[in-house]
Amino acid sequence: MMPKDKFDLAIVENLKQAQAEDVLPNLPQMLEWIQDLNWPVAEPMIEVLLHYPTEITPYVEGILQGNDDEWIYNCLVAIVPRLPFFSKLVLVNAVEQLATKDVTAQNEHIVEAAKQALQSMEP
């Protein structure tokens, strides 16, 4: 029930209609499809993932604490701002750590995205 490639929009449409018990075990693999927001399946997959905010939050936190800069950035701009407030609260520490990093040429976009994500966390 995972896309076969970055163009497999049909399977993502099926995921939108699937029962939660069929989707939940696949959340970590589904998040892998947003590693590149240019992939055609990325935005529709985000829509599916956002139906499960409580369940994806620990996985998003793991990504934010990881070392894949593009995936971190994608979560900061495409997932975190769209989460409900209660899910954002769980992520606030991970996002704050990113927002307060020393800025370098390599991480400037992540630090800025983290600062913007923090603004989305304000009540």
Q: What integer pLDDT is reported at residue 103 of this predicted model? A: 87
35 neighbors 74 (Cβ within 8 angstroms): yes
Task: Decide: 9 and 41 in contact? Cβ < 8 Å.
Answer: yes
- Write down the pLDDT at residue 85: 94
- The answer, as to whether pTM is greater than 0.85, is yes
Q: For residue 123, what pLDDT is reported?
A: 73
Closest CA to 45 of 96, 1, 111: 1
DSSP state of 103: P
Give the integer Cα–Cα distance in Å for 114 and 25.
28
How buried is 61 (Cβ within 10 angstroms: 0-12 exposed, 13-18 middle, 19+ buried)? Answer: middle
pLDDT by residue, tens only, the chain of 123 residues:
899 999 999 999 999 999 999 999 999 999 999 999 999 999 999 999 999 999 999 999 999 999 999 999 999 999 999 999 999 999 999 999 999 999 888 899 999 999 999 999 887
* 20 burial level (CB within 10 Å; 0-12, 13-18, 19+): exposed
Alpha helices, H only, the chain: 9-17, 20-23, 27-31, 42-49, 53-64, 69-74, 85-99, 108-119
> How far is the CA of 81 from the CAs of 45, 73, 116, in angstroms?
16, 12, 8
